[in-house]
Structure formats: structure tokens, C-alpha cells
């Protein structure tokens, strides 16, 4: 954490309930004290409603406070239990910035309409000075029961916070942070220069409407004022756009980290995406959204792309790399789901189950075995032997099949699978042919009329890879002629963008053909796995700088950052950049605690961990190095 440099330092007035902590202390005290009471829920709700009316400026605060106390039946033992609870409910952004609170304790005050008995024990543990806490105080009877409040305390009265701040007579700038209307009144009275509506825990429209600034977290407040902080940037200012109904766990992962998440169920076309992506830093897509060069030209703030699927051919990877945008996918998360669909369709098709089922739905009872076979002893041919192909190989062999594969890349076979030297050889020997290739342009129509003619008569054909790798017209003709006895197709050259669009294909209505709407990886297990995996990679890149697993970016797996600041410098892959950076470090007498460099054909990625004592001029020099594409800092 860099040193705070304020001249003169402003005073910071912080509210406690729903600001410093995530909850309202008095409401929680009622819930604890009334445990077992038959009307507990109703009483707690009444207290909560009174709290909200007071915070929204809808009723006299003093009247509301006294009504709440009258409903409360609590004693000292309940306060002790409340303090233990509140320690677990400190707002995340305040907890992250304990060092700031400690280092600047003389300038920080808590002014609250809550009660000292539960505020002081919690706040002082995070560096707040006990004598800088101004709050109400309970009155107890001899048995320790709460029987009222200190009526002499100005905070029990309307305008109490104004009276406290006036009495403090602070000389210099005063910034107030809180979630309630009484916090805004400090600014309205002229005693505070700025009012920040704090919305990390609760957002009150009547309060945000009158605020100078909206602080979605304490980090946001610190960033806005260029104060030292635990995070180099407030994540609430980082927008994440998730398209195509990705699994809810992905949305949750980003929201829990504090990012601003927008969720869209369907895909967006190029024009829509060009407009929506302008203020987006992270975008998550599946297979129907295409991120073109034009889209990337409009993505001024984009830092990372997450493909919530295996393929990345829908993304212009080279252009993204040139712009310093890292792309991550999920190469293995839905492998099992695709394999199970392939096996299921293979068995259904080779047994002619689809045809038998369709006939029976029409009332036709055909119990013959004609055209129905076992998969045992049959030859499975796979075009592509990647993560899906290898797992399908294992399962198929367990079913008693002979497995053959063709791949342009040299691959070590698993089990008894045999590699053939040409695609033509594979086509000629396979009883079942399954495609598992990627979406590169070179694979367009790799299976067409010629390839179908090379196949065995009565072959079972599966395509669960990419739609454009098969000539659909040629496949339809092969099915009609009987060359292909059965086909399972999950992917198509043209697919609807949403569930509301009609699907059209020459394969519609053909016998013993299973058509599925690109659901090879669409199981709850697979989508949840992808929903966990892709955000984890994106968050590692955003929070730590690690690019391990990126499909277009120099891969660097970085250690966690400790007691240093991390400079991330992405530049065009030209000679001399690292030398120039090192010259700047030497000239500014920067202590380097760690340095990492990786390049690919387009860009270089330099990561430097440095000691915290540096100047803004040094940072500006780093940004101005010729060839710099993107620069950011983490701490």
C-alpha cells in the first residue's frame, strides 16, 4: 500500500450501521433478544421499517429511535452476542482497508445514530480510535436490561449528527460517508464538503439522489480521492457483460468480487455488440456471439474475453492479442457431456431406435431386428483426437468397439486406439464416424460429397464439433441415398441466436437423423463447471495478472503479490522494450522484487513487482515507452 499523501488531510466522517457494517445493529439486537418470542418476526420487521423510514428521511429520526427502543426487549448479554455477530458483518471494503483506517485514525470519525456499546468494540478492532466514535448510549436497570437511552446525548435528537460535527469544529475539508439521509444532512448543513452515498450494502434512492458521489464501496471512495487503498482500482467500476445465459455461478463469482455485472440471456449481433461493449472491461460469451475486429475496435476498455465453451473460433484472437486483450476458454469442462451425447446417439442410431420410436408414435408396431446392430465389434473412426476424442476413445473401447483416429497433429493414442495416416483411410474403414475438430476456417466443409462417397455404405455419422465443417446438403443427400444409415448432428452452419428464432435445415424430417440444438455441452454439470472455470481464469488475470490458460496471450503463471506493487506492461513484440523499461527502473532507483517476461508473435507481456516508494512521474514514463499497448497496476 503506497503512502497516503494529503495536504492537508481531510477529515472522514463514517456512518456505522449498513455502512461500516453490512447490517443495522439495533435490528440485529432485536432479532437476538427476541429469539423464541412468538411475535419475534413481526416485532423485528416493525423495528426494521422504522429504521428504513428514518434513514430515508421519511420520519423524525428521534421519534423513530424511541419507538424502536420501546419495541426492544434486550440486556447486556444480548449486546455481547450482537458484538460477536457484528464482527462477522464488517463491510468487505472496510475490512480490506484496515491499514488505511489505522494509518489515518486521527482524521477518521464514526458518527452514528447507533449505540457505543456495540460500535466501539467492533470499530476499534479495525483501527478506529475509541474517542473518535460518537454514538448513542443505552440506559440499563440493575439487572442489565435496556430501559431507555441517554436523553442528553444529542445523537438521540433530530439533527444530532449536525450538532456533533458542529461541536467538533474540524478545520479543513470534511467528507461524509453513509447510507442514510442523516448523513447527507452533514453536507446540506455546510459542515461537510462532500457527501458520499455508500451503496455496498443498501441503496436508498432518496439518498443517492442528493449525494455528491455514489460510493459502491470504501475502495471507490479511496480511489476517487487518490488515497492509499488495498486494491489498485475499485472493482465496482469494472463492468462485466455476460451473454447467452451463461450459468448463474459465473455471475455470482464476479458479483462476489465486487464487479458490476450485466447479464443478457441471448446473443448480440455485431451492431448491438459494437454499442454495448464500449464501457465493458470483461465480456463472457458462448458460441453464438461473434467478436470481430470491428467489435474490438469499439471495445476501448476491454481487457479480457471469456469463452464459456471449448471453441474460440467466434473470436478474432489475433486482433484481440494486438489490443492486449486476453482470451480464456473452457477446454475440458464439458468434455464428459459431449462424450456421453456422442455415445448415446451412436447407440440409438445403430439400433435404429429413432425410426422405431417414430413409427410407434404413429401406432405402427415393428418388432423386426432388420437394420439394428450392436456397437460391440464395430469400428469407431474419429476425426480429431483432442480432449473429447481421447475420452470418447476410452468409453467406446469399454463398449467393445475398435477405435481409430485421424489428427493432423501427432497424438499419443490411449488404450488400443490406432492412428491412421490419412483422412481417406479413416473414412473407408469406419462403421461409425464422429467429428471432433476445431472451428478454424481451414476445416470448412472438410466433409462433403467426396468424403461421403469414400465412407462405408450404411455408416453412422456424428457431428458434435462445428457446424461449418460439414456440407449439410451433401449429408442430406447421403442420408436419402442410404449411404448414411443414421446421423446425429448437434451443430449447424447457421444457428438461431435465441430460442425464439425458427430453425431451418435440409436435414429436417429425414429418417434416423437426430438433430439437437447445439447442446453437446449443455448439461447442468458441464455448464456449472464452465461457470466456475472461466471466471476463475478471468479473475486470476484481473486480480493477479496471471495469463495461464489464455488461448491468445503469452502464458505466465504468477505468484501471489506480497508487499509490493505489480506493474503489468503489454507491448508490441518489438526489440528493446524490456531494455527501455529497465533503464527507467534504474534511473528512478526502483527496487525490483520480481520480474517476468513472456512473448508471442504479436505482443510481449512484462510483469514487474516493485517496492512501494515510487513517483507518479515514474509511472508516466513507463506508460510512454514506445510500443506500449496497455499498462495497469495491481496492489
Which residues are part of the catalytic machinery?
Answer: 466, 495, 518
Q: Please check whether residue 379 is in contact with residue 455, taking contact to mean a CB–CB distance below 8 angstroms.
A: no
Q: What is the 3-state secondary structure (H, E, C) of 511-554?
A: CCEEECCCCCCCCHHHHHHHHHHHHHHHHHHHHHCCCCCECCCC
The strand ranges marked E within 453-519 are 459-463, 484-489, 513-515
d(CA 515, CA 492): 10
Closest CA to 79 of 16, 157, 139, 151: 139
Per-residue exposure over 191-214, b if at least 16 CB sit within 10 Å of its own CB, e if not:
bbebbbbbbbbbebeebeeebebb
Quick count: other Cβ atoms within 10 Å of Cβ 147? 11
3-state secondary structure of 493: coil
Q: What share of the chain is helix, strand, coil (3-state, %, to 5)?
A: 40, 20, 40
Give the residue from 488, 486, 427 showing the smallest Cα distance to 458.
Answer: 486
| Residue 240 to residues 212, 223, 378, 497, Cα–Cα distance (Å) | 25, 19, 48, 21
User: What is the total residue count of the chain?
Assistant: 635
CA distances from 232 to 98, 564, 620 (A): 15, 12, 16
From residue 615, alpha-carbon distances to 36, 577, 629 in Å are 59, 21, 22
**HSE of 49 in the Cβ direction (CA atoms, 13 Å)?**
8
> In 399-468, where does DSSP find H-type helix?
423-429, 449-454
Contact 536, 330 (CB under 8 A): no
Cα separation, 296 vs 278, in Å, equals 9
Residue 291, CB half-sphere, CA atoms under 13 Å: how many?
31
Cα torsion for 366, 371, 373, 377, to the nearest 10°? 170
> What would the DSSP string read from start to end of 301-341?
T--EEEESSS--TTB-HHHHHHTT-EEE--SSTTHHHHHHH
Nearest residue to 546 via CA among 562, 558, 532: 558
CA distances from 292 to 315, 445, 493 (A): 6, 22, 17
CA distances from 600 to 354, 506, 556, 581, 623 (A): 49, 43, 12, 19, 21
176 DSSP β-pair partners: 13, 195
Residue pair 350/487 in contact by the 8 Å Cβ criterion: no
Do the beta carbons of residue 609 and residue 633 sit within 8 Å? no
Amino acid at each position: 500500500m503506497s503512502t497516503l499523501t494529503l495536504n492537508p488531510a481531510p477529515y472522514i466522517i463514517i456512518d456505522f450501521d449498513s455502512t461500516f457494517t453490512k447490517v443495522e445493529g439495533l435490528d440485529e439486537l432485536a432479532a437476538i433478544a427476541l429469539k423464541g418470542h412468538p411475535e419475534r418476526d413481526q416485532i423485528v420487521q416493525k423495528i426494521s421499517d422504522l429504521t428504513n423510514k428514518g434513514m430515508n428521511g421519511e420520519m423524525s429520526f428521534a421519534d423513530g429511535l424511541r419507538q424502536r427502543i420501546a419495541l426492544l426487549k434486550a440486556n447486556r448479554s444480548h449486546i455481547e452476542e450482537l458484538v460477536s455477530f457484528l464482527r462477522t458483518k464488517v463491510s468487505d471494503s472496510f475490512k480490506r482497508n484496515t491499514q488505511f483506517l489505522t494509518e489515518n485514525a486521527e482524521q477518521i470519525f464514526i458518527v452514528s445514530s447507533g449505540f457505543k456499546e456495540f460500535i466501539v468494540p467492533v470499530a476499534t478492532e479495525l483501527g478506529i480510535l475509541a474517542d473518535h466514535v460518537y454514538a448513542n448510549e443505552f440506559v440499563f436497570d440493575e439487572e442489565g436490561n435496556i430501559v431507555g437511552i441517554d436523553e442528553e446525548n444529542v445523537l438521540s435528537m433530530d439533527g444530532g449528527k449536525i450538532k456533533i460535527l458542529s461541536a467538533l469544529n474540524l478545520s479543513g475539508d470534511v467528507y461524509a460517508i453513509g447510507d442514510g439521509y442523516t448523513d447527507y444532512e452533514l453536507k446540506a448543513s455546510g459542515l461537510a464538503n462532500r457527501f458520499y452515498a455508500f451503496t455496498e450494502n443498501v441503496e436508498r434512492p432518496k439518498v443517492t439522489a442528493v449525494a455528491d458521489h455514489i460510493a459502491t464501496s470504501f475502495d471507490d471512495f479511496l480511489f476517487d480521492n487518490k488515497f492509499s487503498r488495498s486494491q489498485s482500482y475499485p472493482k465496482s467500476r469494472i463492468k462485466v457483460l455476460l451473454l447467452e445465459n451463461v450459468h448463474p455461478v459465473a455471475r455470482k463469482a464476479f458479483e462476489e468480487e465486487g464487479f458490476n455485472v450485466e447479464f443478457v440471456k441471448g446473443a448480440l449481433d455485431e451492431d448491438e455488440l459494437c454499442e454495448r461493449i464500449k464501457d465493458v472491461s470483461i465480456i463472457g460469451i458462448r458460441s453464438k456471439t461473434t467478436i470481430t475486429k470491428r467489435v474490438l475496435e469499439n471495445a476501448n476498455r476491454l481487457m479480457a474475453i471469456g469463452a464459456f465453451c471449448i471453441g474460440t473460433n467466434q473470436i478474432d484472437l489475433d486482433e484481440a492479442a494486438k489490443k492486449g486483450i486476453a482470451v480464456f476458454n473452457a477446454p475440458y469442462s464439458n468434455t464428459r457431456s459431449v462424450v456421453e451425447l456422442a455415445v448415446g446417439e451412436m447407440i440409438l442410431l445403430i439400433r435404429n431406435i429413432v425410426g422405431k420410436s417414430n413409427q410407434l408414435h404413429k401406432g405402427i408396431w415393428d418388432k423386426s431386428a432388420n437394420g439394428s446392430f450392436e456397437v460391440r465389434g464395430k469400428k469407431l473412426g474419429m476425426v480429431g483426437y483432442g480432449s473429447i476424442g481421447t475420452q470418447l476413445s476410452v468409453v467406446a473401447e469399454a463398449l467393445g468397439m475398435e477405435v481409430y483416429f485421424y489428427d493432423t497433429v501427432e497424438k499419443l493414442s490411449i488404450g488400443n486406439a490406432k492412428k491412421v495416416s490419412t483422412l481417406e483411410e479413416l473414412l473407408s474403414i469406419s462403421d461409425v464416424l464422429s467429428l471432433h475438430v476445431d472451428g478454424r476456417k481451414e476445416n470448412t466443409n472438410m466433409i462433403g460429397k467426396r468424403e461421403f462417397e469414400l465412407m462405408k455404405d450404411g455408416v453412422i455419422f456424428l457431428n458434435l464439433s462445428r457446424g461449418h465443417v460439414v456440407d449439410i446438403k451433401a449429408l442430406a443427400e447421403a442420408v436419402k441415398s442410404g449411404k448414411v444409415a443414421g446421423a446425429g448432428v448437434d451443430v449447424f452452419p447457421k444457428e438461431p441466436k435465441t430460442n425464439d428464432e425458427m430453425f431451418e435445415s435440409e436435414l429436417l424430417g429425414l429418417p434416423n437423423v437426430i438433430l439437437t440444438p447445439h447442446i453437446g455441452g449443455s448439461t447442468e454439470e458441464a455448464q456449472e463447471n464452465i461457470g466456475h472455470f472461466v471466471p476463475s481464469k478471468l479473475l486470476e488475470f484481473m486480480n493477479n495478472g496471471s495469463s495461464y490458460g489464455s488461448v491468445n496471450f503469452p502464458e505466465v503463471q504468477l505468484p501471489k503479490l506480497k508487499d509490493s506493487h505489480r506493474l503489468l506492461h503489454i507491448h508490441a513484440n518489438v526489440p528493446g522494450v524490456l531494455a527501455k523499461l529497465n533503464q527507467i527502473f534504474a534511473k528512478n532507483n526502483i527496487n525490483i522484487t520480481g520480474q517476468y517476461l513472456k512473448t508471442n508473435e504479436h505482443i510481449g507481456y512484462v510483469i514487474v513487482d516493485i517496492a512501494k516508494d515510487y513517483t507518479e512521474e515514474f509511472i508516466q514514463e513507463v506508460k510512454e515507452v514506445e510500443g506500449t499497448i496497455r499498462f495497469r497496476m495491481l496492489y
